[in-house]
Amino acid sequence: MAPEIGALAPRADFPVLAANPGLHYLDSAATSQKPASVIRAIARYYETSNANPHRGAYKLAAAATEAYHEARGRIARFLGVTDADTLIFTRGTTEALNLIAAAWGRANVKRGDRIVVTRLEHHANFVPWQVLANETGAEFVIAELNADGTLDMDRLRSLVTPRTRVLAFGHVSNALGTVNPVHELVAVAHEVGALAVCDGAQSAPHLSVGIDSLGVDAYAFSGHKMLGPMGVGGLVMRRELLEAMPPYQMGGDMISYVGDATTTWNVLPHKFEAGTPNVEGPVGLAAACDYLTALGMEKVHQHEQALMRLASQRLAAIPGVTVLGPSPEARSGVVSFTLEGVHPHDLSQLLDADGVCVRAGHHCAQPLMRALNVHATTRASFYVYNGSADVEALVAGVESARRRMVG
Ligand code: PLP
């Protein structure tokens, strides 16, 4: 028997888990649970400091402004971003990627240019580029994978030609867990002067990313996948690019001066944060960053690796189970699998009856599912509050589903 792996973070810190003692929550790649400290930080903000930031001359408005900007600084520090004003708050990864494609893309991509994305992408890092290509007449090219679900880097290199304006790639695949070689991808993009855009939705929660040191031109992430609240995430982009590109949305706060005929833009980050901002989101996310810092991101990573390896090994030993994606060395804390004779949706419903929450479906990665020749997979994803008891419950549930459905 392998030694038991306890949760890295106490379940008691997470009110949802404390309220549901038998629950095995294995869907953190979709969204994470929230520690009480995050929920408390949000409540405290509303109880003590709520007003519309940047707008009032009174002390309470100054407190709201301070809470908002102090949170930006803490989140930037956690993510390894020195110039905090290049962290633009968005609703999440989806909005951040749409912002780049709409604002930078429309200003910089034209007919005959090329946009390269990878076969692994979540729809959020695929569709905005596909639409931009269709609108501008640029060529949209997909970099294919090796049989094990890693990027075929030789083919990718040959696709990134001097006409390429954008290379968009995920740091970590949500569907397979593949960890991509970011530094190599950045080098390929920069050799031809293309923009290196990194979807960090599945890396910021799990790795010590150090965005400055990745060398990417743009990095998008979602707070709700890293113990923070829903409705906040961000775009980190090189200052000179943000300063040169047009704004994404127009309205309050993003202007410097509105003339009758034309308008000038506010400085960063305000230029890209039109309208009343989401203050509670950054406040809660900053508390989430503190929580992760206290756990230690290296420990978080090692913990998830241990659970992913255990789950991969135990599931692969069940007849009819195929674990998809690369070997554990090239994978994050995600196990995507199929069970012969059982549809992933049926499997996830049967697992739910055992208190095991997993994701079933195409994982917003239909182009990848086509390449894998499957319609859907079942995906278990691990985080700080999981332990080997969750893996055992998953394995027992899959075995029992197989007995019932296959015989
Ligand atoms: N990119 C990846 C790799 C994801 O896993 C997700 C969410 O699952 C997204 C983008 C979209 O994130 P959000 O829905 O938070 O905007």
With tokens 């609703």, the residue in question is: 91
Cβ of 275: how many Cβ atoms within 10 Å?
11
Which of 293, 310, 332 is a domain's end point? Answer: 293
Residue at 106 is within a domain = yes
- Alpha-carbon separation of residue 87 from 66, 190, 218, 234 (angstroms): 16, 22, 10, 6
Alpha carbon of 45 to ligand 1 centroid (Å): 27
Q: Are 180 and 303 members of one domain?
A: no
Which of 364, 368, 381 has the most ligand 1 atoms within 8 A of CB, as the residue to mutate?
A: 364
> In the annotation, is 364 catalytic?
yes
End-of-domain residue from the set 247, 278, 293 = 293
4 in a structural domain: no
DSSP string over 350-397? HHHHTTEE-EEE-TT-HHHHHHHT-S-EEEEE--TT--HHHHHHHHHH
The torsion angle over the Cα atoms of residues 299, 229, 363 and 376, rounded to 10 degrees, is: 90
Q: Report pTM.
A: 0.98
Query: Is the domain of 131 the same as that of 275?
Result: yes
- Give dist(CA 272, CA 104) in Å, integer: 12
Task: Tally the C-alpha atoms within 13 A of residue 216's C-alpha that lie toward its C-beta.
Answer: 27
- The answer to whether residue 61 is domain-embedded is yes
CA of 402 to the centre of ligand 1 (A): 31
In a domain, 339, yes or no: yes
Helix (H, G, I), strand (E, B) or coil at 219: strand
3-state secondary structure of 50: coil
Q: How many domains does the chain have?
A: 2
Q: Is 94 in the pocket of ligand 1 (CB under 6 A)?
A: yes
Out of 93, 232, 285, give the residue to mutate to test ligand 1, the one with the largest number of ligand atoms within 8 Å of its CB: 93
Q: How far is the CA of 124 from the centre of ligand 1 (A)?
A: 7
Structure tokens belonging to residue 389: 């008891």
CA of 263 to the centre of ligand 1 (A): 33
Residue nearest to atom 14 of ligand 1 (CA): 94
- Do both 330 and 236 map to the same domain? no
Q: Could you tell me if the CB of 124 is within 6 A of ligand 1?
A: yes
CATH code, 98? 3.40.640.10
Please tell me the distance from the alpha carbon of residue 292 to that of residue 235, in angstroms, as a whole number.
20
Is any ligand 1 atom within 6 A of the Cβ of residue 92? yes
In a domain, 271, yes or no: yes
Residue 324 belongs to domain with CATH number = 3.90.1150.10
* Domain encompassing residue 240: 40-293
Query: Same domain, yes or no, for 24 and 80?
Result: no
For residue 390, being part of any structural domain is answered with yes
Q: Do residue 189 and residue 46 come from a single domain? A: yes
- Where among 293, 327, 347 does a domain terminate? 293
* Per-residue pLDDT tens listing for the chain (407 residues): 678 999 999 999 999 999 999 999 999 999 999 999 999 999 999 999 999 998 788 999 999 999 999 999 999 999 999 999 999 999 999 999 999 999 999 999 999 999 999 999 999 999 999 999 999 999 999 999 999 999 999 999 999 999 999 999 999 999 999 999 999 999 999 999 999 999 999 999 999 999 999 999 999 999 999 999 999 999 999 999 999 999 999 999 999 999 999 999 999 999 999 999 999 999 999 999 999 999 999 999 999 999 999 999 999 999 999 999 999 999 999 999 999 999 999 999 999 999 999 999 999 999 999 999 999 999 999 999 999 999 999 999 999 999 999 88
- Does residue 401 have its Cβ closer than 6 Å to ligand 1? no
Do both 176 and 253 map to the same domain? yes
Q: Examine residue 378 and state whether it is found in any structural domain, yes or no.
A: yes
Please tell me the distance between residue 173's alpha carbon and the centre of ligand 1 in angstroms. Answer: 10
